[in-house]
Amino acid sequence: MSMNLGPLFEPFEDTSLKLRNRVAMAPMTRNFSPGNVPGDNVVDYYRRRAEGGVGLLITEGTTVNHKAANGYPDVPAFHGNEALAGWKKVVDAVHEAGGAIFPQLWHVGAVRKEGMEPDASVPGYSPSGLYAPGKANGKAMTKEDIQDVIKAFADAAQNAKALGFDGVELHGAHGYLLDEFLWEGTNQRTDEYGGSMENRLRFVVELVEAVRFAVGPDYPIMLRFSQWKMQDYDARLANTPEELERLLMPLVEAGVDIFHASTRRFWEPEFEGSNLNLAGWTRKITGKPTMSVGSVGLTEDFISGTFASKQEAVQQSGIDELVERMNNREFDLVAVGRALLQDPEWLVKLKDGRGDDIEPFARKSLTKLY
């Protein structure tokens, strides 16, 4: 097999960020941090992907210091001496292997249910006490709650910089807290944080501004956002390029350097009349670097569950189209998820033309960390 993979392996530079190539490991929740502390197994997990040549690793979602930030068992925290010491080991290991790394800073919002660690009595917190349109869960946030969460993100970003992370990613996608403010279906507030798109943006804009103030002018801030939600795959924040511009430009002004546009399949067009995907439209509108993601390298379809043969794996994983889109400068970076979860050497095997040696993703891989 011979493919021109040139754009994947071009160096990338923006603000203070310098990457050896344009391939990132997508953030993936792994549930292997008991006590919310990343241990040596987590260190080894990230080290292996850096040793496999990945340019940028984005950690699994790691929770900020708010009592309702967590919604899942055994996910790592990004606060407290023990957890931060664990993350320092991760940073050092990735750097030693030649990679760069961002933590994904996370608050799950109304996804949290009572009974979840660390304090089982704490409910979910969200803009209107809604998990999905018409589906109540937890409590609606007061303005004091909003300021507490903004401070928690700013503190986490400051800690990331102090630990030596190369930047931060703010998780604003998939129906978690930031996205719940953006999504009209879950934001039914009647104050300045609800109503119009500009008002629904206010919380995220203020959060980005606080993070920017905490880390200074040149430290990279990436925002992950999505149209789809885990609560509703068909949900949309913007139905036209004009609406997307109204969504994105205030975030640029607030301090976002890179947009990570999360889609389920990177090759699908975002709006009628153009082949550009969400990352492509984001780059066109903002002029900022963008990262695309969505089923890169998979032999199993995200939705249908159908499989390709191993021989067809690389061809059907869309690598040719990915390279073409990157050659056209539709987007600048690409995040790879389950393909790298399965095979830490996915990228180097691809580069060396060893497609037959790539291990196709298997769901049983989710049950172990290696």
pLDDT of amino acid 98? 98
Looking at residue 307, what is its pLDDT? 38
Our answer to whether residue 233 is catalytic in this structure is no
Q: Which of 46, 125, 131, 176 is catalytic?
A: 176
Q: Which domains does the chain have, with CATH numbers?
A: 6-367 (3.20.20.70)
The pLDDT value recorded for residue 299 is 56
For the whole model, what pTM was predicted? 0.94
pLDDT at residue 3 in the model: 55
**Residue 348: left (phi > 0), alpha (psi -120 to 50), or beta?**
alpha
d(CA 290, CA 257): 9
The whole-number pLDDT of residue 355 equals 79
What are the structure tokens assigned to 154, written together? 């700013």
Closest CA to 48 of 18, 21, 25, 20: 25
* Residue 249 tokens, joined: 């430009």
Task: Report pLDDT for 310.
Answer: 42
- CA pair distance 100, 94, nearest whole angstrom: 7
pLDDT at 1: 41
Position 5 scores a pLDDT of 86
Residue 310 and residue 158: Cα distance in Å, rounded? 44
Residue holding tokens 């919380």?
A: 203
Q: What is the mean pLDDT of each run of 10 residues along the chain (370 residues)?
A: 76 96 97 97 98 98 98 97 98 98 98 94 98 97 98 98 98 98 98 98 98 98 97 95 98 98 92 95 98 78 41 54 91 94 93 86 88
Mark 318-332 as b/e (b = at least 16 C-beta within 10 Å).
bbeebbebbeeebbb
Q: What is the pLDDT of residue 363?
A: 86
Specify the pLDDT at position 158: 98
